[in-house]
Amino acid sequence: MADKIKKIALLTGGGDCPGLNAVIRAVTRTAILKYGYEVIGYKYGYKGLYNNDIVPLDLSSVSGILHKGGTILYSSNKDNLFNYQVEENGEKVYRDVSDVGVENLKKENVDVLVVIGGDGTLTSARDFARKGVKVIAVPKTIDNDLAATEITFGHYSALDVATDALERLHTTAESHHRVMILEVMGRNAGWIALRSGIAGSADVILIPEIPYDIKKIVSKIKSRGEQGRPFTIIVVAEGAKPLGGDVVVQRVVSDSPDPIRLGGIGDKLAHDLEQLISDHEIRCTVLGHLQRGGDTSTYDRILSTRYGVAAVEFIHEGRFGNMVCLNSNKMTFEHLENVIGQIKTVDKGDELVKTARSIGTSFGD
Ligand code: F6P
* Per-residue pLDDT, 3: 66
Same domain, 163 and 75: no
The Cα–Cα gap between 170 and 234 comes to 10
Tally of domains within the chain: 2
Average pLDDT over residues 214-240: 98
% of the chain surpassing 70 pLDDT: 99
Q: What is the pLDDT of residues 27-54, one digit of tens each?
A: 999 999 999 999 999 999 999 999 999 9
Same domain, 13 and 99: yes
In 3D space, the residue among 17, 48, 70, 76 whose CA is nearest the CA of residue 255 turns out to be 76
Q: Provide the edge-to-edge strand list for the sheet that holds 232-237.
A: 204-206, 232-237, 179-184, 282-286
Q: Contact, 67 vs 97, CB < 8 A?
A: no
Does the CA dihedral 33-324-146-48 come out positive or negative? positive
Cβ neighbours around 337 below 10 Å, total: 11
Question: What CATH number should be reported for the domain holding residue 164?
Answer: 3.40.50.460
Q: What is the pLDDT of residues 299-313, one digit of tens each?
A: 999 999 999 999 999
Higher pLDDT: 70 or 258? It is 70
Same domain, 120 and 258: no
Please say if 143 is a catalytic residue.
yes
* Per-residue pLDDT, 256: 82
Average pLDDT over residues 280-291: 97
Q: Exposed, middle or buried: residue 295 (CB in 10 Å: 0-12, 13-18, 19+)?
A: middle
| 16, 77, 144, 185, best to mutate for ligand 1 pocket (most atoms within 8 Å of CB) | 185
Å from CA of 227 to ligand 1 middle:
38
Please, which pLDDT band fits residue 159 given cuts at 50, 70 and 90? Answer: very high
Same domain, 22 and 118: yes
The Cα–Cα gap between 136 and 321 comes to 6
* Per-residue pLDDT, 257: 79
pTM of the model: 0.97
Establish if 337 belongs to a structural domain. no
Please, which pLDDT band fits residue 2 given cuts at 50, 70 and 90? Answer: low
3-class DSSP assignment, residue 364: coil
Average pLDDT over residues 158-186: 98
Phi then psi for residue 238, to 5 deg, are: -60, -25
Establish if 365 belongs to a structural domain. no
Residue 215 structural domain: 156-293+347-358
Question: What CATH number should be reported for the domain holding residue 109?
Answer: 3.40.50.450
Establish if 338 belongs to a structural domain. no
Same domain, 262 and 301: no
Q: Whose CA is nearest to atom 11 of ligand 1?
A: 261
Same domain, 161 and 278: yes
